[in-house]
A and B are shown apart, each in its own frame.
Chain A
Amino acid sequence: MYAQMVKSEAADESAEAQAFQARIDAGEKIEPKDWMPAGYRKTLIRQIGQHAHSEIVGQLPEGNWITRAPTLERKAILLAKVQDEAGHGLYLYCAAETLGVSRDELTEMLLDGRMKYSSIFNYPTLTWADMGAVGWLVDGAAIMNQVPLQRTSFGPYSRAMIRVCKEESFHQRQGYDIMMKMAQGTPEQKAMAQNALDRFWYPSLMMFGPSDADSVHSAQSMAWKIKMNTNDELRQKFVDQTVPQAEYLGLTVPDKTLKWNDEKGGYDFAEPDWAEFFEVIKGNGPCNTERLAARNKAWDDGKWVRDGLLAHAEKRNARKVAAE
């Protein structure tokens, strides 16, 4: 997901921690000033931070096509979509900041590689059809995860997710709209759409993370209600929803083993190559270096703006105080 393989801290057994768990079990929201176990706080900073970083880095693969969109309308739509993602990053950073970490600290942890972002954004966007595949599949997978997170136990995270989810359906629909246009276009355009699906199918399945059926970390996060479903549950849901949409487009999901299973009421499908996933996580995906370099450059190049505006504000404040 946008937050993959987030390590969960262990719970402690103190009376306070037990009372805290009871509040969560009762469906109460935890707010920033409430008592919380240190593990809960740290796990949340890690998860919300990773989620925020993904929104921000996720602008890069799509930003790649804004200046080359095929029409002015498509360009305006893609621009609006990418701007939304900047907003998503902002809502999430603000939610993380309520836990006592500063914005600059979070940014630095992304830039020096201490914190991660979703593996999906380390894949390149090679053609215009990729803008369709990203909106349809990547935003589609994100929605699967973000909708249940609206009910997460941490108030600021839950509220950020509610705002994000309101905007995501536009993202997925604009992507599917591109796919429909391409799939109904010339044979070359349809081939581009198929090619985009071929390249993004397995990386999209990886977004949910490896099977976590026996992961201790994930059990703790689920008890704390900062993870609402297992990775496998969400992946299954995503496949079941997406396969008929691919069929409607007249495109083929690149999985020869894909088959409807009447008994479980869902599709049987092939697992992605987890060795590839771990390589991408480690920094060896096709675009890891490029993505981090782009973020570092933006941070460094923006320094004079951050400093200049702050100096201006301080000067004006000083003048105001002097005049009072």
Chain B
Amino acid sequence: MSSPNSAYPDIPETQTKPKRHEWPLWEVFIRGQHGMSHRHVGSLHAPDEEMAIKNARDVYTRRNEGVSIWVVEACNIAASSPSEKGPLYEPSESKVYRHPTFFDIPEEVGAM
């Protein structure tokens, strides 16, 4: 990769200076009116959880999108890694019998 002073000086290769103190990043989850579970809708910066909820209200519920807000500081979320995609999900691929359509039920039996 080219040096930071390449033809494109605008985008830093990595953090260019010691990271200044920014408001932390929060992930926002909203539950809609129809009883579905909380759903990730986006993220925002805020100094603390109280402001994070207020900001989430201002940005993500402008058109009656929800009745409940969860915020979690992004650094507290553990996530599966994309490189584990194979080993992590492959075990379920061969287990077709976990799906109801695997079983042939005679029509006479009725809806099931």
Contacts and interface: CB of A to CB of B under 8 A. Distances in A.
Contact of A45 (B11, B47, B51, B82): B11
B23 A309 contact: yes
Contacts of B47: 309-310, 312-313
Contacts of A297: none
A38 B1 contact: yes
A114 B10 contact: yes
A246 interface: no
Interface in B44-61: 44-45, 47-48, 51, 59
A83 B62 contact: yes
Contact of A104 (B22, B44, B48): B22
A18 interface: no
Interface in A111-156: 114-115
Contacts of B8: 7, 9, 42, 46
B79 A310 contact: no
Interface stretch (B13-21, B30-38, B86-94, B104-112): B13-21
Contacts of B51: 309, 313
Grouping DSSP codes into helix (H, G, I), strand (E, B) and loop, the B interface class, with mixed when no group exceeds half, is loop
Nearest to A9: B8
Interface stretch (A95-103, A177-185, A199-207, A257-265): A95-103
A105 interface: yes
Nearest to A312: B47
B11 A84 contact: no
Contacts of B16: 105
Contacts of B20: 102, 104
A100 B10 contact: no
B82 A94 contact: no
Nearest to B21: A310
Contact of A33 (B44, B45, B48, B81): B81
B46 to A, nearest CB: 8
Interface of B: 1, 8-12, 14-16, 19-23, 25, 42-45, 47-48, 51, 59, 62, 79, 81-82
Given A94-B25, A114-B10, A313-B47, 8 more contacts: A31-B82, A42-B8, A83-B62, A90-B42, A102-B15, A159-B42, A309-B51, A310-B23
